[in-house]
Chain A
Amino acid sequence: MSSPGLTDTSLADHIRPVAADSHVSASVFLGDVAAFALGDGTVILANGATTSRVNVHPDSAILVAAADGTHLVTGGDDGRVVRTSATGETEEIVRVANGAWIDAVATGPDGAVAWSAAKQAHVRDGKGNVFTLDIGSSGRGLAFAPKGFQLYIARYNGVTQWFPRTQGKPKEVTWKGSHIDVTASADGRFVVSTMQENEMHGWRLADGANMRMSGYPSKVRSMSWSFDGKWLASSGADAAIVWPFMTKDGPMGKPPLELGIRPSRVERVAFHPKAPVLAVGYKDGCVLFVRMDSDDEQILQARAAGDGGAVSALAWNADGMMLAFGTDEGAAGVLTLPKV
């Protein structure tokens, strides 16, 4: 297979620009259709040379989005959660009371969807059953566990581990402060949050051991696991900060790698789904690919710094041949890697 980082072809020629013209809240792939969730409430679906725009949240902004490979789930400041297919069909999953903003969305197994708003988390499973949990503070980040039907909820002072189908109290891991987003390792052993402070926090679930992952000059807004689950990349510094998770202790006592050091802040990171390659998006709009399996890091520029502001969205398709990116001032595009 071809993978990025091995060719010296100018990748700029392989970018198909998408005129988003609004803040790109997220980019995802639904099959090979790139979907962009935007601050003006619309979703752009880019299928090869054909693009269409769907008005998913009229007169509103899409605040958060997630996708499961076939559907995009968006949450807006209209208090609605909407599911959009690759062909543009939409289904309103919920409209929350009083128009409370949707704080987070996540997609889970068998078409399950989770959302949080107004200090509650909700899950709708594949059969349409809806479960609700009071969380006492805003649920800023949601992530389904890699196995089983369970949801991690980032909140004030920790992360809640919720099993919606079982009665009884959810489990919790705690750490003082406001937790913004959450992710779990593929083997289910570690949970990592980003915080209001400039740091991440991790827990080893087996014994609740804490891992402080600090030293960032800015807030961490993006995390991504490598395809083999051995590395967790993060934004928030002038390089992608990549923590090792291959041993039973995770990153405890180990320094992270710093990949793609540039005089700009890393805003988004996205690991390639099949190769040890990290896509890194910067505040100045630049996107780099960094290959990390050799002694010297190999770097390839995917997009030059320029108009459109900071990179705010970055996603690979399933086979890793396409990358969809967007910026906070409405530039976007799809890069299709040349076959070599």
Chain B
Amino acid sequence: MSDKIPVTVLTGYLGAGKTTLLNRILSEEHGKRYAVIVNEFGEIGIDNELVVGADEEVFEMNNGCICCTVRGDLIRIIEGLMKRKGKFDAIIVETTGLADPAPVAQTFFVDEAVQDNARLDAVVTVADAKWLKDRLKDAPEAKNQIAFADVILLNKTDLVSKEEVEDVEARIRGINPYARVIRTVKSQVPLSEVLDRGAFDLDRVLEIEPAFLEAGNDHHHHDHECGPGCTHDHHDHDHGHDHHHDHGHSHDGLKHYHDEHMKSVAFNIPGDVDPEKFIPWVQDLAQSDGQNFLRWKGILAFKGEPRRYVFQGVHMILDGDLQREWKPGEKRESRLVFIGRDLDEAKLRAGFEATAA
């Protein structure tokens, strides 16, 4: 993708298993050198010159964007790490269990020097299979961390029944169907599944159709996701119900949950969009509605452009560029996904569809 250093942001509520994962990353033989920015030195039992303590200095930028907060300490640390360029391959940023991931993510889009040298690879959230459901009820941070994630490790699955795992995963998907969910025990996951993913996880924006296949650990089940054309009522309480849409998959009674405020919507244009219309639209949208968007991502076919335009946003901050070419035989289409609070689906759809070429 580029020679920018990939950065993985590791979030997760207290006790979910973040430190276990970090210790594995630092101790296993994987041929890669990671600089790790941690909050608590003490938790990491490994002496490593590339483990850096952070002190979570969140501050506002004076750019007229009220939710544009960044982590000043991260800017400083990444600038410092760049003086050791060549000594490490990637950066991992651990956030505290109670942290809002937005300032961390925004740091990688706002600060020019950070952006020149590093790119946000993925937000990885470690979730506790036993306690996540409770945290989603009583801890807004936990919900934000799920909504923000590109990859979710659903950890400690050995401590709950299979049904409970299915249930908690359904709740995750009710908030964020676009994250890849990996079920783990003791944070045991091949590190290549969570680190240095490139744009791979963003590609899920295109892959996830209104109904998509999800391979479970021990059996196949078909999962239904809300996407374009989703017409469910978004109730203000959890509800489990069977779906029998006529898209050919058999459902095995998997539950679906919708969160009252936090949800995701996706829109598809089966062809090109006009960048002259699309770019001004997203810029205006960032100003008017960005506060409600935790993440928004898109892969777009720009009229007359052989390369895919890939963009992602955090609240009011947007970052996009032209990446690889559309492959021969690959269908040119434009897809946009929003994860956020109180989304006005009709307005977003109308706005996006008006940018069609």
Binding site for B on A (CB under 8 A): 22-23, 25, 39-40, 59-63, 77, 98-101, 103, 118-119, 137-138, 140, 156, 176-178, 195-197, 218-219, 328-329
Q: How far is the CA of A137 from the CA of B55 in the complex (A)?
A: 10
Q: How far is the CA of A111 from the CA of B76 in the complex (A)?
A: 28
Interface size classification for chain B: 20 to 34
Of B79-87, B132-140, B156-164, the one with at least 4 CB within 8 A of chain A: B79-87
Query: Which residue on A lies nearest to B77, using beta carbons?
Result: A101
Q: 8 Å CB contacts to A: which residues of B67-82? A: 70, 72-73, 75-77, 80, 82
Is A177 touching B62 in the complex (CB atoms < 8 A)? yes
Tell me whether B59 is interfacial, beta carbon within 8 Å: yes
Given contacts A62-B83, A178-B59, A197-B63, contact A218 B53 (CB under 8 A): no
Given contacts A60-B49, A138-B72, contact A98 B80 (CB under 8 A): no
Query: Which residue on A lies nearest to B51, using beta carbons?
Result: A99
- Give the shortest distance, in Å, between B251 (CB) and chain A (any CB): 51
Is A140 touching B76 in the complex (CB atoms < 8 A)? yes
Is B72 touching A156 in the complex (CB atoms < 8 A)? yes
- Give the shortest distance, in Å, between A13 (CB) and chain B (any CB): 31
Is B62 touching A98 in the complex (CB atoms < 8 A)? no
Is A25 touching B83 in the complex (CB atoms < 8 A)? yes
Query: Which residue on A lies nearest to B72, using beta carbons?
Result: A178
Query: Which residue on B lies nearest to A37, using beta carbons?
Result: B83
Q: How far is the CA of A99 from the CA of B54 in the complex (A)?
A: 11
User: Residues of B contacting A140 with CB < 8 Å?
Assistant: 76
Interface of A is mostly: loop
Choose one: B57, B63, B85; the contact of A138 (CB below 8 Å): B57
Tell me whether B25 is interfacial, beta carbon within 8 Å: no
Given contacts A177-B62, A196-B61, A197-B62, contact A77 B80 (CB under 8 A): yes
A–B complex contacts, Cβ < 8 Å, 30 sampled: A22-B83, A23-B82, A23-B83, A23-B85, A40-B84, A59-B49, A61-B80, A62-B83, A63-B83, A77-B80, A77-B84, A101-B77, A101-B80, A103-B76, A118-B55, A119-B55, A137-B57, A138-B76, A156-B57, A177-B59, A177-B60, A178-B59, A178-B72, A196-B72, A197-B63, A219-B111, A219-B112, A219-B113, A328-B82, A329-B85
Is A39 touching B72 in the complex (CB atoms < 8 A)? no
- Give the shortest distance, in Å, between B3 (CB) and chain A (any CB): 12
Tell me whether B41 is interfacial, beta carbon within 8 Å: yes
- Give the shortest distance, in Å, between B277 (CB) and chain A (any CB): 27
Choose one: B41, B49, B75, B84; the contact of A196 (CB below 8 Å): B75
Interface centre among A60, A62, A101 (most CB of B within 10 A): A101
Q: 8 Å CB contacts to A: which residues of B223-251? A: none
Q: Binary interface profile of B, 80-106, with partner A (CB < 8 Å = 1, else 0)?
A: 101111000000000000000000000
Q: How far is the CA of A195 from the CA of B63 in the complex (A)?
A: 12
User: Residues of B contacting A40 with CB < 8 Å?
Assistant: 84
User: Residues of A contacting B185 with CB < 8 Å?
Assistant: none
Interface centre among A39, A40, A59, A99 (most CB of B within 10 A): A39
Q: How far is the CA of A334 from the CA of B73 in the complex (A)?
A: 34
Q: 8 Å CB contacts to A: which residues of B169-210? A: none
Q: How far is the CA of A302 from the CA of B166 in the complex (A)?
A: 68
- Give the shortest distance, in Å, between A46 (CB) and chain B (any CB): 20
- Give the shortest distance, in Å, between A219 (CB) and chain B (any CB): 6
User: Residues of A contacting B269 with CB < 8 Å?
Assistant: none
Interface of B is mostly: mixed
Is A98 touching B61 in the complex (CB atoms < 8 A)? no
User: Residues of A contacting B111 with CB < 8 Å?
Assistant: 196, 219
Is A100 touching B53 in the complex (CB atoms < 8 A)? yes
Is B52 touching A156 in the complex (CB atoms < 8 A)? no
Q: Give 6 nearest A-B pairs by CB, closest first.
A: A39-B83, A23-B83, A61-B83, A177-B62, A61-B84, A63-B80
User: Residues of B contacting A119 with CB < 8 Å?
Assistant: 55
Given contacts A61-B83, A61-B84, A219-B112, contact A98 B53 (CB under 8 A): yes
Is B85 touching A101 in the complex (CB atoms < 8 A)? no
Choose one: A23, A77, A176; the contact of B52 (CB below 8 Å): A77
- Known: A61-B80, A138-B73, A156-B59; 6 extra A-B contacts, CB below 8 A, are A98-B53, A100-B53, A138-B55, A156-B57, A176-B60, A177-B62
User: Residues of A contacting B85 with CB < 8 Å?
Assistant: 23, 39, 329
User: Residues of B contacting A197 with CB < 8 Å?
Assistant: 61-63
Choose one: A39, A60, A176; the contact of B62 (CB below 8 Å): A176
Q: How far is the CA of A319 from the CA of B83 in the complex (A)?
A: 30
Q: How far is the CA of A178 from the CA of B61 in the complex (A)?
A: 8
Interface centre among B73, B80, B85 (most CB of A within 10 A): B80
Choose one: B41, B52, B59, B82; the contact of A101 (CB below 8 Å): B52
Is B84 touching A39 in the complex (CB atoms < 8 A)? yes
Q: How far is the CA of A39 from the CA of B87 in the complex (A)?
A: 10
Q: How far is the CA of A273 from the CA of B188 in the complex (A)?
A: 61
- Give the shortest distance, in Å, between B55 (CB) and chain A (any CB): 7
- Give the shortest distance, in Å, between A305 (CB) and chain B (any CB): 18
User: Residues of B contacting A118 with CB < 8 Å?
Assistant: 55
User: Residues of A contacting B70 with CB < 8 Å?
Assistant: 196
- Give the shortest distance, in Å, between B184 (CB) and chain A (any CB): 31
Q: How far is the CA of A119 from the CA of B85 in the complex (A)?
A: 26
Interface centre among A40, A138, A176, A178 (most CB of B within 10 A): A178
Query: Which residue on B lies nearest to A218, using beta carbons?
Result: B112
Q: How far is the CA of A140 from the CA of B84 in the complex (A)?
A: 19
Q: How far is the CA of A197 from the CA of B57 in the complex (A)?
A: 16
Query: Which residue on A lies nearest to B42, using beta carbons?
Result: A98
- Give the shortest distance, in Å, between B33 (CB) and chain A (any CB): 13
User: Residues of A contacting B55 with CB < 8 Å?
Assistant: 118-119, 138
Q: How far is the CA of A103 from the CA of B79 in the complex (A)?
A: 11
Query: Which residue on B lies nearest to A102, using beta carbons?
Result: B80
